[in-house]
Structure 1
């Protein structure tokens, strides 16, 4: 993945409700690589990842209850290297403002960002080298 003497990269895993199963499938498929990251996850997503993959993941609040803001703060404080956020483009989100803010912060602070399976897989592949 990376030289043994380099610091562990941090990654947040977030998925909208309709994308949680897709996230679990993706994490399961890439479990061994993801085990090398310091992982964070919002509410239900983080809980399901821990339960279904046995990965060590630090659970934050649910997205609408502050989890998106927690990840945004991590980005602004340069404590997050990668954000994998499987968004559902066809569903309205009651906390859409939080979602847009999180994506804006990831862009502003030049955080590696993936918003679907293919981009997440490509990003993970690039990080392995």
Structure 2
């Protein structure tokens, strides 16, 4: 199972804390984590293993969306900052739309992500 991890800048600390709190779950042999570049670097600094894509504004959201369309992503955890402006919002919307098109579970906040981890 591959889980994509993404977080807007204002949510990166919350994402790292969430993943660390559930590290034994995410570090299972059958789970691979991929992340946008900056989120991935935060996760790596926290001691977690993750495959990093480009940063979001440089195409990381699109890279993850491409893998999703290819059937290589099983779940997306994307802590969005609904109050911030994001220069790559079009990529974010595309990723979320493709989750809907391809019926991929998408958690956009910690409460939804908690529900997801209970299914792993």
- Please show how residues 43-82 of structure 1 align to structure 2 within 5 Å: 43-52=37-46, 54-82=47-75
- How far apart are 1:51 and its partner, in Å? 1.2
- Determine the C-alpha separation between the residues in 2 that align with 1:25 and 1:71: 22
- How far apart are 1:43 and its partner, in Å? 1.0
Q: Say if 2:34 is the partner of 1:40.
A: yes
Q: Say if 2:104 is the partner of 1:107.
A: no
Aligned to 1:89: 82
- Determine the C-alpha separation between the residues in 1 that align with 2:55 and 2:12: 13
Within the candidate set 23, 43, 49, 2:15 is matched to: 23
Task: With the length of structure 1 as denominator, give the TM-score of the two structures.
Answer: 0.89
Q: Which runs of 5+ in 1 are unaligned?
A: 1-8
- Determine the C-alpha separation between the residues in 2 that align with 1:44 and 1:26: 16
Query: Which runs of 4 or more aligned residues in structure 1 lie more than 6 Å from their structure 2 counterparts after TM superposition?
Result: none
SS of the equivalent of 1:84 reads strand
Within the candidate set 120, 123, 126, 2:116 is matched to: 123
Task: With the length of structure 2 as denominator, give the TM-score of the two structures.
Answer: 0.96
- How far apart are 1:112 and its partner, in Å? 1.2
- Determine the C-alpha separation between the residues in 1 that align with 2:33 and 2:20: 14
Structural RMSD (CA): 0.7
Within the candidate set 6, 9, 14, 2:6 is matched to: 14
Larger Rg: 1
SS of the equivalent of 2:63 reads helix
- How far apart are 1:106 and its partner, in Å? 0.7
- How far apart are 1:104 and its partner, in Å? 0.3
How many residue pairs get aligned? The number is 118
- How far apart are 1:44 and its partner, in Å? 1.1
